[in-house]
Amino acid sequence: MRKGLTEKDLVILSAAHTIGTTACFFVTDRLYNFSPGGGSDPTINPTLLQELKGKCPQNGDVNVRLPMDRGSEQTFDIHILENVRNGFAVLESDAKLNDDETTRSVMDSYFGFLGPPVGPSFEADFVESMVKMGQIGIKTSSEGGVRRICSSFS
């Protein structure tokens, strides 16, 4: 990949969503106006869909906070990847990891026959991916700059 990160790094870094929350604002379209076709994202587990709609009713408060890792939101662990595999991804970007064969196989590698303690270590792989991401060059001076207004590209 362009910045030296692999599909495995993408999966592992996305798993940082094991801690934290998101706002209803970021899931409303997925619940009520999913593209294509409208309605709800068909990949959402029906149990989660009902829970999310209860917390984020249509035309409700978009600032309501939701845990991103249902059932393990206060613990840094691999549970987020299990949620993604089972249709319990709160964010669409996380759910997409299950759509691609390569990223799905990365997730599966942590749960299969060769999973821990023999197979890959989620924690060790997370550290490695964070270090790689931290080594991505930052453009400064004539190559780039600091935005004074973060939402502006000019």
Phi-psi region of 38 (alpha: psi -120 to 50; beta: other; left: phi over 0): left
- 17 assigned ligand-binding residue: yes
- 18 assigned ligand-binding residue: yes
- 69 assigned ligand-binding residue: yes
How far, in Å, are 9, 57, 76, 117, 143 from residue 124 at the CA level? 12, 39, 13, 12, 34
- Pick out the residues of the known binding site for Ca(2+): 18, 69, 77
- Pick out the residues of the known binding site: 17-18, 69, 77
- Pick out the residues of the known binding site for heme b: 17
